[in-house]
Each structure stands twice: as C-alpha cells, then as structure tokens.
Amino acid sequence: MIRDIQKLKEGPFDLLVIGGGINGSAIANLAADAGLRTALLEKGDFASGTSSKSTKLLHGGLRYLESFEFGLVHESLKERTIHFKSSPHLTKHLRFLIPIYKTDKRPFWMLKIGMFLYDFLSGKHLIQKHEILTAEEVLLKEPSLASKDLIGGVIYSDVQMNDARFCLENVLSAQEKGACVANYVEVKSIIKENGKAVGVIARDLKSGESIEIRASKIICAVGSWTNEFMRKEITKFPAKVRNTKGVHIVYKEKFSERAFLIPSHRDNRILFVIPWLNHSLIGTTDTDFTGSPD
C-alpha cells in the first residue's frame, strides 16, 4: 500500500471518507469503482478498531428471529452467501452445534422452529441444511459436552471470515481503482465555507505535517468515535451512536473443528465458542460503554 500524502494535498476529491474500518473501506472501494475521485483516511492502522476485533462471523442473526425481524435475517443471509462465494480465500463454512438441556430457557421445539425458519429465509442462498440430533447423537459428535439433562441438539451452518483481512482487501482494491488511501492521518477539523463542509485539516502522524484536503462530499465512518469526532465541530452535538463493549476470551487450544452456540442460564444471552487459528474464541459480552474509544 502506498501512502501518497502529496496526492492528498493536491485534491480536490469527489469524496473523502474518514475512517478505515470495514464501513469506510467498503464505501471507498465502491466509490472508486464508480469512478469517483476518492480519498480514504485512517488515524491508526486500517481495521484497527472493531473491524479486527469482531466474533469473525458472517451470519444471518439467528437471535433476530425471536424479535420477528425476518426481513433483516433474510437480507443478512443473502449477503453472507454472496461474500462466502465471492471471497473463498477469506471465508470458511462453519457448522454450529447447539446442545439443548432441560434447564434451558429456550425449549427444544422453539429451536426446531428457529432452525426451519433460518433455512427457509436463506432460500436459494442456503449453504447446508440444519440437522436435529438426539442427546445420544450430540454426545457421539462431541463427547466432552455435559450429559446431565441433555435432551438433544441442532447443527446449522454459518460462515467464518477473516475480518481484518476483509477490510484491508477493500482498502487495497480501492487504491487499485485510483483511490488515495492513507493510514496514520488524523482529521483535526472540518473546513467550512458558506456553511458547507468543503474539506478537512488533517495531520500526518508519521511526519507531523499539517495537510489541507479538499473534497466535494465527506463521509464520516469512524464508528465508535462518531460522537467524539463530531463534538470537535459542534460542542453540543447530541449523541448519535450508542457505544457498547464486547469482550472475547481467546483460549490457547481449539475445543473442536465445530463451533458451539451455548445459551447462558444466567442472563439468557447466547455465547459463541468458535475455532480460530488453532485457538478458541469465546464470547461475547455486550454492555454499554461511556469511556473514550481509544
């Protein structure tokens, strides 16, 4: 990747995208593909925020079935399969096992209906049909699971992805199409003329140089930094983004080639246990966060 600071100075651009996570990089890639003169800025490494710290899944959102968000699930499943087929080097078909116990808050019949709906909403984008298992079949597949009160299980399909690389490939693709991309460039302020944003003042964090970058349109795709960024310009800017914090545990060994989806008895959340790079990724929590994203 080439950091062309001189090209940033020369401008002007049709579109300036601030934020080099998956949203910003994908927007820049699409804009460059459409022939727009595009610039993409990131104050750290590309994908250094949430875009490299996710649960690394492309999924339809099984839990959204409980709130009857069928349209969202269908759209997500469609996009999941599109990325799975178009990026085989970054994605992997993953089978999930959900063990069902007598003490679970979600009864077995509810999971069976949920699995049917998940496959049905996949339509032509179905990767592999789900399976309904007896307790004995669950233990044959995964004998390390607790057997007490086990009444059965289900296996279904979703897709695992390399989230950081997925983001970076959008950045590289945008650059190949003519976009000017640069990391370690922090936007310090917005340039306004006649009440309209026409560019930014940024700082090259490698050289310390101040840069003026002009653009017809500016998109702020800074994720968790949105409120903080906008309050640089508007002191009383109302919070537009509700920040939450997700925590994963990385265990040194891989429990299984399968992933597990385990309902929590404490708070009714769903926990994932996912094989990742010869380790196991366990999570995630989801709690409100009011501190600085940095």
Name the burial class of residue 105, with classes exposed (0-12), middle (13-18) and buried (19+) by CB atoms within 10 angstroms of its CB.
Answer: exposed
Whether 156 and 257 map to the same domain: the answer is yes
Show which of 230, 252, 277 is a domain's final residue.
Answer: 230
What gap in Å lies between CA 207 and CA 241, rounded to an integer? Answer: 32
| Residue at 294 is within a domain | no
Whether 156 and 35 map to the same domain: the answer is no
C-beta separation of 138 from 153 below 8 A: yes
How large is the average pLDDT for residues 75-97?
Answer: 94
| Residue at 270 is within a domain | yes
Whether 122 and 180 map to the same domain: the answer is no
At 100-155, the pLDDT tens digits run 999 888 899 999 999 999 999 999 999 999 999 999 999 999 999 999 999 999 99
Q: Across the chain, what does the average pLDDT equal? A: 92
Q: Which residue type occupies 69?
A: E
User: CATH number, domain at 110?
Assistant: 3.30.9.10
Whether 272 and 153 map to the same domain: the answer is yes
At 197-213, the pLDDT tens digits run 999 999 999 999 999 99
Measured CA to CA in angstroms, residue 214 lies from 37, 46, 75, 116, 128 at distances of: 11, 22, 36, 52, 49
Whether 181 and 278 map to the same domain: the answer is no
Whether 207 and 248 map to the same domain: the answer is no
Whether 113 and 155 map to the same domain: the answer is yes
Look up the domain containing 281 and give its range.
Answer: 85-161+243-288
Nearest Cα to 103, choosing from 47, 164, 146?
A: 146
Domain count, the chain: 2
| Residue at 78 is within a domain | no
Whether 98 and 224 map to the same domain: the answer is no
Give the pLDDT band of residue 195 (cuts 50, 70, 90). Answer: confident
User: CATH number, domain at 30?
Assistant: 3.50.50.60
| Residue at 75 is within a domain | no
| Residue at 98 is within a domain | yes
Determine the pLDDT at residue 78: 94
